[in-house]
């Protein structure tokens, strides 16, 4: 579970997160959309414990959070197996149970027979699947994803989106998914939050597998406001 | 043509040019002894056991000196990497020492330790410690910030972070430092032996100079170069064999 209450964060006097409160305890995918520089990634980094906030309360268990970045961030000198072992406690990583957990995590992201490969031998999509498997191995209560599919081609992106939706459903995960792509947010998420000027300006809940028809026009109006303020 | 064959082309051309100059009569045979005479001198020195003994003595010195250099350099690099204060405190003395040629210290070292192994080892250490130290320190400090963040999200312990992220990040830089440092230690050794030793390849050269045997001098010089080249090649091949899988950039 993760909850933020009245969180504020500034950089060089400029407020990026402004007295923001957010509850991430609902299962499913929460998409966080907004214009570039609106504070989406800052918010995610605060929840992940990578960035200290100036004021407010962040109630999150860092040990139960899995993070997937825009880049896979696989250590190039380690094999896939060794990269995944880093997610497990040292004494557990090389045990049979550890190997079994790694094989399971790879199966979850539809990868097989790549344990002994090095990251340079993987495609962009495969590398990002390994990064997701690495996050899953931490048995996270909350999965944080910062534009994880932004650098991938359209076909691979589509495949990974579907895979993520299945994964979140089957493992009953809570996922905060940062993206600037409204179409992607609409496709994969159960709720969408629009970030604007450091606050959650609007939120939308999917009902009967559909978002309200006003979603696009409302989000566009916030994006336009952001463009004007640049 | 294979790579190894290509590397031999230039030395062969130099050898031919050297032989032509020496046999043309334009230069005195004393000043530039022809390759054949040098080869004969090498055979004599080998047969008498002088050359083999000098090589063994020099190799033992350089290997022990370089090993001391490596241990000290790694410990110092870890120390300055661990604490900004220690880094700042040591920055000036290390920068100053780095700029002093080790041979400039020889008179003092002879006064302090006499002509012996301590002086020779000190010169080798002073000559080779800095490339290893600088490269190791730079490598340890040049960890990709994205990997630092990743380690934070994975909650790696400091020890696990060091061995999984920091040390591998520094490995290519450390290998470069070791190669450069070994070359420097070999060069410092010969300098040390020219002044402060009664054995070894450097001493063989000085001894030959006093006997006006320029062919023996040439044997000493070429042996130093050949052994240095051979050791560097063996080191590079050994490193590539062990590390190429994980660090292909080292061997490219």
What is the pLDDT at residue A226? 63
- Could you give the CA distance from residue A129 to residue B134 in angstroms, rounded to a whole number? 38
What is the pLDDT at residue A72? 95
Query: Where does the pLDDT of residue A228 fall: very low under 50, low under 70, confident under 90, or very high at 90 and above?
Result: low
Q: What is the mean pLDDT of residues A217-225?
A: 76
Side-chain-side CA neighbours of A95 within 13 Å: the count stands at 8
Tokens 């063989």 map to which residue?
Answer: B204
Q: What is the mean pLDDT of residues B233-240?
A: 90
What is the pLDDT at residue B1? 55
Structure tokens at A164: 């993520």
Q: What is the mean pLDDT of residues B121-126?
A: 92
Q: Are the beta carbons of B142 and B168 closer than 8 angstroms?
A: no
Flag whether pLDDT at B170 surpasses 80: yes
Contact B154 A138 (CB under 8 A): yes
First to last CA, chain A: 35
Residue A156 buriedness (CB in 10 A; 0-12 / 13-18 / 19+): middle
Q: What is the mean pLDDT of residues A183-208?
A: 89
Please indicate if any CB of chain B lies within 8 Å of the CB of A139: no
Q: Which domains does chain B have, with CATH numbers?
A: 32-250 (1.10.3720.10)
Please indicate if any CB of chain B lies within 8 Å of the CB of A120: yes
Which residue of chain A is at minimal alpha-carbon distance from B170? A77
What is the pLDDT at residue A62? 80
For chain B, the average pLDDT equals 90
Task: Render the burial of B152-165: b for 16+ CB within 10 Å, e for the rest.
Answer: ebbbbeeebbbebb
Q: What are phi and psi of A66, to 5 degrees?
A: -110, 135
Q: Residue A143, SS3?
A: strand
Residue of A62, A75, A118 lying closest to B155 (CB–CB):
A62
What is the pLDDT at residue A227? 58
Structure tokens at B175: 């290998």
Flag whether pLDDT at B138 surpasses 80: yes
User: Edge-to-edge strand order for the sheet containing A28-33?
Assistant: A65-68, A142-146, A174-178, A28-33, A191-196, A199-205
List all residues 6 or more positions away from A146 whose beta carbon is below 8 Å from its beta carbon.
Answer: A40, A41, A44, A45, A67, A68, A69, A70, A178
Contact B160 A78 (CB under 8 A): no
Calculated CA dihedral for residues A123, A190, A142, A121, nearest 10 degrees: 0
Query: Where does the pLDDT of residue A229 fall: very low under 50, low under 70, confident under 90, or very high at 90 and above?
Result: low
Tokens 């979850």 map to which residue?
Answer: A108
Q: Residue A120, SS3?
A: helix
Q: According to DSSP H, which parts of chain A are helical?
A: 40-48, 80-85, 90-93, 96-108, 124-136, 154-170, 182-188, 215-229
For the segment B74-117, what is each residue's pLDDT rounded down to a tens digit?
Answer: 999 999 999 999 999 999 999 998 899 888 888 898 899 888 88
Please indicate if any CB of chain A lies within 8 Å of the CB of B147: yes
For the segment A4-51, what is each residue's pLDDT rounded down to a tens digit?
Answer: 999 999 998 888 998 999 999 889 999 999 888 888 899 999 999 999
DSSP A207: B
Share above pLDDT 70 across residues of chain B, in percent, rounded to a whole number: 98
Q: What is the mean pLDDT of residues B67-79?
A: 96
Contact B154 A71 (CB under 8 A): no
Partners of residue A73 in chain B, C-beta under 8 Å? 146-147, 149-150
Q: Are strands A174-178 and A65-68 parallel, antiparallel or unpaired?
A: unpaired
Please indicate if any CB of chain A lies within 8 Å of the CB of B3: no
List all residues 6 or more positions away from B87 whose beta carbon is below 8 Å from its beta carbon.
Answer: B80, B81
Q: What is the mean pLDDT of residues A178-207?
A: 89
Please indicate if any CB of chain A lies within 8 Å of the CB of B157: yes
Model confidence, pTM: 0.85
H/E element, B169: helix B167-196
Q: What is the mean pLDDT of residues A203-208?
A: 86
CA angle A67, A68, A73 (to 5 degrees): 115
Nearest to A66 by CA among A49, A89, A85: A49
For the segment A59-112, what is each residue's pLDDT rounded down to a tens digit?
Answer: 888 888 999 999 999 999 999 999 999 999 988 888 888 999 999 999 988 888
What is the pLDDT at residue B7? 80
What is the pLDDT at residue B252? 72
A2-76+139-229 — its CATH code?
3.40.50.300
Q: What is the DSSP string of A27-49?
A: SEEEEEE--TTSSHHHHHHHHHT
For the segment A133-177, what is each residue's pLDDT rounded down to a tens digit?
Answer: 999 999 898 999 999 998 888 888 898 999 999 999 988 899 999
Structure tokens at A217: 């026009």
Complex-level ipTM: 0.89
- Could you give the CA distance from residue B163 to residue B169 in angstroms, rounded to a whole number? 10
Q: Are the beta carbons of A108 and A69 closer than 8 angstroms?
A: no
Instruction: Considering only the C-alpha atoms of chain B, give the largest distance between any 2 of them, rounded to a whole number of Å.
Output: 75
First to last CA, chain B: 19
Please indicate if any CB of chain A lies within 8 Å of the CB of B146: yes
Calculated CA dihedral for residues A166, A97, A139, B160, nearest 10 degrees: -130
Q: Are strands A191-196 and A28-33 parallel, antiparallel or unpaired?
A: parallel
Tokens 């470069």 map to which residue?
Answer: B176
Q: Residue A184, SS3?
A: helix
Partners of residue B147 in chain A, C-beta under 8 Å? 73, 75
For the stretch A45-49, contacts whose Cβ atoms lie closer than 8 Å and that sit 24 or more positions apart, written own/partner, are A45/A146, A46/A4, A46/A7, A46/A9, A46/A17, A47/A2, A47/A4, A47/A142, A47/A144, A47/A176, A48/A144, A48/B153, A49/B152, A49/B153
CA distances to B53, B97, B133, B181 from B64, rounded to whole Å, are 17, 21, 17, 13
Query: Left, alpha or beta for B241 (phi > 0: left; psi -120 to 50: alpha)?
Result: alpha
Which residue of chain B is at minimal alpha-carbon distance from A48? B153
Partners of residue A87 in chain B, C-beta under 8 Å? 154
Question: Would you kindly state where each structural domain of chain A is located, as residue ranges?
Answer: 2-76+139-229
What is the pLDDT at residue A192? 93
């Amino acid at each position: 579970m993760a909850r933020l209450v009245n969180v504020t964060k500034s950089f060089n006097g400029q407020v990026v997160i402004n007295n923001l409160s957010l509850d991430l305890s609902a299962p499913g995918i929460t998409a966080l959309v907004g214009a570039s520089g609106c504070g989406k990634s800052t918010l995610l980094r605060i929840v992940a414990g990578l960035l200290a906030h100036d004021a407010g309360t962040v109630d999150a268990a860092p040990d139960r959070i899995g993070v997937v970045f825009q880049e896979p961030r696989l250590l190039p000198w380690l094999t896939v197996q060794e990269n995944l072992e880093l997610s497990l406690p040292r004494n557990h990583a090389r045990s049979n149970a550890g190997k079994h957990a790694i094989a399971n995590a790879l199966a979850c992201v539809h990868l097989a027979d790549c344990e002994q490969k090095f990251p340079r031998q993987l495609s962009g999509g495969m590398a990002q699947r390994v990064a997701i498997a690495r996050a899953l191995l931490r048995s996270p209560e909350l999965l944080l994803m910062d534009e994880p599919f932004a650098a991938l081609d359209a076909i691979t992106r589509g495949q990974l989106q579907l895979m993520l939706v299945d994964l979140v459903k089957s493992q009953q995960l809570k996922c905060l998914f940062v993206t600037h792509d409204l179409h992607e947010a609409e496709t994969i998420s159960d709720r969408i939050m629009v970030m604007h000027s450091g606050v959650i300006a609007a939120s939308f809940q999917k009902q009967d597998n559909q978002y309200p028809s006003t979603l696009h026009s409302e989000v566009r109006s916030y994006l336009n406001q952001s463009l004007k303020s640049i | 043509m294979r790579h190894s064959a290509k590397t031999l082309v230039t030395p062969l051309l130099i050898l031919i040019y050297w032989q032509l100059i020496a046999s043309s009569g334009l230069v005195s045979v004393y000043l530039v002894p022809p390759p054949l005479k040098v080869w004969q001198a090498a055979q004599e020195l080998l047969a008498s056991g002088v050359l083999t003994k000098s090589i063994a003595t020099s190799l033992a010195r350089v290997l022990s000196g370089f090993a001391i250099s490596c241990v000290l350099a790694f410990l110092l690099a870890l120390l300055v990497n661990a604490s900004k204060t220690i880094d700042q405190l040591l920055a000036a003395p290390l920068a100053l020492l780095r700029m002093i040629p080790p041979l400039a210290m020889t008179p003092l070292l002879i006064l302090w330790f006499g002509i012996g192994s301590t002086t020779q080892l000190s010169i080798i250490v002073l000559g080779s410690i800095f490339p290893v130290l600088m490269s190791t320190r730079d490598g340890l400090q040049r960890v990709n910030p994205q990997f630092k963040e990743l380690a934070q999200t994975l909650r790696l312990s400091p020890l696990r972070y060091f061995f999984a992220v920091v040390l591998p990040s520094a490995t290519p830089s450390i290998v470069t430092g070791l190669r450069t440092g070994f070359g420097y230690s070999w060069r410092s050794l010969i300098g040390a032996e020219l002044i402060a030793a009664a054995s070894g390849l450097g001493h063989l050269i000085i001894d030959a100079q006093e006997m006006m045997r320029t062919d023996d001098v040439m044997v000493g010089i070429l042996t130093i170069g050949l052994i240095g080249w051979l050791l560097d090649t063996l080191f590079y091949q050994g490193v590539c064999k062990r590390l190429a899988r994980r660090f292909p950039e080292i061997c490219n």
